[in-house]
Structure 1
Amino acid sequence: MNLPDLNTPWTVSQNQHSHVSVKSVNSMLDPIDLKIESLFSAQRFHMNNFTDFHSKSAMECQQEYKSRLKDKFQCIHNDMSKQSMFLNDIFTELYITEGESENVNKEHEVRQIETVLRRKTTIEIPVKCNDIFKHSPEENRPIKCVLTKGVAGIGKTVSVQKFILDWAEGSANQDIKFVYPLPFRELNLMKGKHFSLIELLQHFKMETGFEGNHEKQKVLFIFDGLDECRFPLDFQNNAKLRNPTLPVSTDVLLTNLISNNLLPDALLWITTRPAAANQIPLEYIDLVTEVRGFNDPQKEEYLNKRINDKHLSGRIITHLKSSRSLYIMCHIPVFCWLSVTVLERMFNAPEDEEIPKTLTQMYTHFLLIQTHAKNMRYTKEHNPGPEDEDMILKLGKLAFHQLKNGNLIFYEEDLMACGIDVKEAVVYSGVCSQIFKEESALSENKVYCFIHLSIQEFLAAIYVYYMFKVHQINVLDHEEHQELKETTLFELHKSAIDQAIQSENGHLDLFLRFLLGLSLESNQSLLQGLLFQSGSRACQSIKETIDYIKKMIEETSIPEKSINLFYCLNELNDLSLVKEVQRFLNSGHFSKLSPAQWSALVFVLLTSEEKLDVFDLKKYIRSDEGLTRLLAVVKASESALLDNCGLTMRCCRALASTIGSSSSNVRVLDLCNNSIGDKGLELLTAGLENTQCNLEELRLSYCRITTRGCSVLESGLLPNLPNLRVLDLCENSLREAGIKILANYLKHQHCKLEILRLKDCRVTTQGTIAIASALQSNPSHLRELDLHWNNPGDGGVEKLSAVVKHPLSGLETLWLSYGLLTEKSCQSLASALRSSFSTLKALDLSGNAIYDGAVKMLSHGLGSPHCKIEILRLASCEITEVGVDDLASALASNPAPLRELDLRQNHIQDFGVSRLAEVVKHSNCRLETLRLGDSGVTKDGCAVLAAALNSNPSYLRELDLSSNELTDAGMRLLSPVLKNHSSNIMKLDLSQCGLTTDCYDPDCKLEKLILY
């Protein structure tokens, strides 16, 4: 280990933190192995006395240490039989993908799962967990501190175990000299004690690897389970520490290690559940990764692997898909394993039992299976006994009280507080390890936990319901030293519902589902003989509870709350609201929905098997109120199409809050043709303040935005959209002043716009010059500039042409139609096209009276070997066959790049067509679209064109000859080309060409033929 002279304080090396790139990890591990037995409960270190460091070489010390780690981490323990499996035999590599870098939200993990399932997963870059400390491929920067997050049971700990094992076996990361696994559940046992860093490592019997010359060596500290930490990590107020020999509290040691004060060259790896991730300031983290569970294909792959019988696996998969709540939970590998445990037995059972369709039913059967298996193994009894009920209730009490306190890891004092004898816990851990387990710490202490948070929530619900059923009391409302009062079933339910709704992070959501599900007589009958066999057996109607839940659905404005309430109704077998809204979905009429029905619509859309890649508000309703009701669906979508929906400024603040949420998936927001105005932009800006919105495309065409709105965009809205790539402001009255304001935004280095659309925005010459000047300052990002129907003037085009010639310019598309341009603009553009730096691929000059002389000038650029133009549009430019002659000559000398040529509404005549035909039949011609509508073409032109296409038929896909006097004779000349097996023409426009029905040839293989 790279420890300093113990008498000399270390100095802190400068640590430059770059921005946090977020990754996500997708695991295919066998869920049985995911924390069923903690990696820290395996064989204990067998070193009683530390190595005599002066009598052994550093290499010998390291090899002995690796050998001990290999013995400890090479096996995964599972099942009640305590059988072990080699980790290398079952481990499947993880996957890392790009993600967000902000602090995670504190939501219940089931909510997070639902969000993860709707995330974009198209950009997945597989990276082995062993490469987690390698340099970023995009940024040559060292990665020293990694934070890995993921919900319980998802694979964090096993990925850590694999990393350690590969290092110990010498197969990876051999540049690291020592790896120190220090789980928080064990560091908790050091609370209140003072150690130096060296003493702490010695306490856990870890090699410190001193050498006489104190040569620097790279070391890695792994802190597993930040969410289990029971002491504060006060980075602001903890004393600075640079001396590893100075005794301090554990939290001071950790904060100084993480903040690079102590051992600044050490690597750190911290794992945590998402809700606790923000305990570590982002400034200290170089890389954030996320361990994900199974996506839908991986669920099926796992289930097929776990079940040898393919017919049975198919039945189980079909059943799980039939219940959305169960299928969503299968995202967690542990729940996949739990489901297989239950369903495999039930589908193979000779008796005709009801197959579980709800979470409560699934967990009830799981509890019964584990209890039955324990009795068969240790008492040879089929039926549960009193000791089972007693222990389950004690565990339930422990689960309930620790759930209220937010604890997942328990210690001896926690067990004793619930009447659980430590020896009894050890025994029960041994015989029912699939529910509750004891884990050996690296020290001599014990820690305890449930295999998954959902098991803890289920047992907590059993305890709460049992206390009501047997004693008619409500422990939910009970405070310490307060007398317990009798209650009714509805009062118990109401209390639980209210507390779940009031919980900001949803930590009681799943508990509430279980509590309500246990109230059904069908689920109680499953537990007969184990629980609920005493006390009142009066059948109490739960209709009052259902009515109350529906009332809360009407009143709650938080979508996540109402969605959980619908899952609660599902646990109570009430699907009336969902069925009602499904009828509306079938009819397409949504104007008369009640608030509860709107919530039901949100629930149905969010829990549908279909991905919400695109949400189109027009399919449902067109109003501010309708949008507000469906904002949860907007947040889950990647593209929100809200155009032409009669929206006003009233919806803008709520919309901004939705798309600015850290859990929002929205990348494209289309608000075109809505009257939101400048005030709406102000409200959008206010709603996005202090957020890092993920929006990539913002469409605001025809939204009544003025110069004032441009000021709002430049100073408030656009800086809050760091990922914005497309901005559409077409058909707004921005005028010269507004364009100059936007130009100020374009020149800033934080601007990453690739497409800017300003069609019909009253852009003048001075406005165009301002845009061009901004692009000269920041030329590398903009790819497309749309100035259709503006007046950029020859001076503006001259400045834009200079941008095209800039060595760093990335401009590829320039739309300048109907811009009152003259011959001078074509001269400037021709010069730009001849530049070796030009990247321009698409140019539209349609609607400008440039005449033949300008086309001749432009042709000098088009014929250049440097010209890269693929799309050239010159419709309605007063061009004659003379101009086409020059154009054809240029294209003949450089025909390869051109893909589209538009010469509609010009006077090119048959001679012009014959010159273009020479280009078409050129072997290097790759023309795919040719538009010659209303250009004076007759059947003679058709003959020449048909001959050219027969010579080189492979590329042309679209041909427009509309509004020409072709007659049936012209069509007959083209027909052989269309039937040619080498022809790729799929769209042919011959409308208004004087044709009759007699000319139509049904053998022509066209996708679209326009005759009239």
Structure 2
Amino acid sequence: MAGEESALAVLLGALEGLTLEDFQEFKTKLSHVDVEGGWNIPGDALAEATRPSALAGCMGDSYGEDAAVDVAVRLFEEMNRRELAEKLLDEKVKAYKWKYKEHVAKELLRYQEGNSCLGENTSTGGPYTELSMARKPWSQRGGEPGDATWGCADTVTVRTLFKPDEGGRTPRVVVLVGAAGMGKTVTLRKVTAGWAEGTLCRQFDYVFCVDCRELSSSKEASVVELVSKCCPHRRTPPGWIWDKPEKILFILDGFEAMGLPLAQPKAELSSNPREAKPLGTTLLSLLKGTILPESTVLIATRPTALQSLGQCLGGERYVEILGFSPAAREEYFHRYFGSDNKAEVAFGFTRGNEVLYSLCVIPVMSWSVCTALEQELYKSRHLLECSRTATRMSTLCLSWLMKHGGRDAQRDLQQFLLQLCSLAADGIWKHKVLFEEKDIEDRGLNQPQLLSLFLNEQIWKEGPDHGKVYSFSHLHLQEFFAAMFYVLEDTDDTVGGPGTLAKDVNVLLESYGTSREDLNVTVRFLFGLANPKVTEHADEEIGCRILVQPREDLLRWLQMRRRDLSHPSEAVLIKELDTFHFLFEMNEKSFVQSALGCFMGVALQDARLTLYDQAALCFCIKQWAGLRSVTLRSCSFQQQQRCRKEPPTGFPGQSPRQEELHSPLHLLCLALGHPGSSLRSLRLQWCGLTEGDTNALGTLLATHPSLAHLELGDGALGDGGVRLLCAGLRQPDCRLQVLR
């Protein structure tokens, strides 16, 4: 290696600078050296090494390059040639720093290959999406990452974590706070990778990363022992690094896993980095600065450890990871897919699903969505039939959290989730997003390892009467767990007390249908959880059993919806877009067919149909054998993009370029023209139709003999559009009777 060769070159230079007398003295002392684990230089070989180059080669061959330099330093000190000893030691330290950084880079690469679930490359030049971070808790500010309500002065990046404050004070301890799946570990790896590459934290000579989750079973350790676990061959750095603690950064990941009693008497703390103490005492000594007080510490922890940390630290800086801003979400999709075209298709679909897009503020949810949509795009060129609903993404995220939640995450999970879901549902009914400690204790949720996976902890009072409140990491996650409350099977240990919320799906549905529109997302998740594949995944991957009965309640509610209308003819029309959202979330063809069997048409008005809306509507239309009429008034369509060019598939005269454009009506016309469709009437009134839309309509006319009535209303079709419609009308399978 370059660093090692440089150290030996300095050794050779030092030997060449000795007088003949000093050279002989060095050889004499060398003959009495006994290196443990190495070969001593034989006497005849030492006698034959009459030149410095030969002697340096003998030492390297016999002791190894590192040990040879150590031996030379000691002998130079004994000879009172300290200037040579210091020069050689300095060179060895430089070589070790280079080798240590290389070791850190290799460890990061190994970690990334085994833990690539977030789709991020932590190297500085790699695909890393910047997370939104701020010094003040999100709860004090409101809004989403990137919103205008955020104060720019509070924004923190990986480059400004240790930036001096307004008073010029550099924080000694920086606490990185974030819920499970928010990207704390990825951020720490980014800091470490930047240091190893020389682009971040250049004020530090050494960065030592300690994973507290791997240490939680250890009994005693010294700081030196903790450092040695980070080093190649578990050898601590050479030289006097402890004399320059200001050049050391300690990174502690997963601090909450330690479960430390942080209120220890100062007399029990250590001041010697080589002294072995109980692990908790050693870490507290490092945090409180009784060991290496000039060193810097970066801690990553879930919110549950904040209160105890605040009691033992002083002068620390708290930085909260808030997740992906709207701009960062789009950037993440582009980095994940690589192909701009695929990224735009996937992000456009996700952006159209308000629930899914909102959940993507959580990095692990963005990864879940990208992973699932990547599989869909591998099978198809578009997301028209995408079955990756918000419920499936949420269950995928939940299983990820459980797998990465520590050793206790699977213990008593069923009972814990039942109580967590009860808490979520109670909060949804009462418009409550903050829960007090009593709410947690009454439900037996005070299990730190599990609780910290799902809830954020905040201190809401200071002083002796301090208290804590808890919230779900996102409102939609609370709504997801609220929906789970109605479908999870109770265990034998489940006990209902006074005031316990009843598991009555019909009450929830009736309330939504009459007065509680805010229950929309909860109801949508309820439909998604009734999907058989979701039920199977929950049982196998999470260990939760989901009841079958709610499926029947959901089907009956959809079939009876709007049955009390005074005009029977309107009772057979679906006028609410949410019906298609619910059925798409369920995503089971037989269920959709049963639910739509008693309806004959759809009539939507003033709807801006996103790609998600179109996917939901088209999915239902393709299962709807009894669909006779479709009426859209003052509706607009988000345009679909494809990942690859398709050959033309329409009626004669259709050009490849026109197919390539894909009008906004393309998806709807594909669904309406599916085999077995009995559509008779299509009304598109004041929908802003253009010449480009007539290509899809012409294809529908040419291939759909049952279509008898077409109203286009207030469109700007142009001469070209009229010609395309006429081309479709001339096809032999066209049976259109009315065109307006």
> Normalised by the size of structure 1, how large is the TM-score?
0.33
> Normalised by the size of structure 2, how large is the TM-score?
0.43
Give the number of the structure whose residues are more often helix, by fraction: 2
Larger Rg: 1
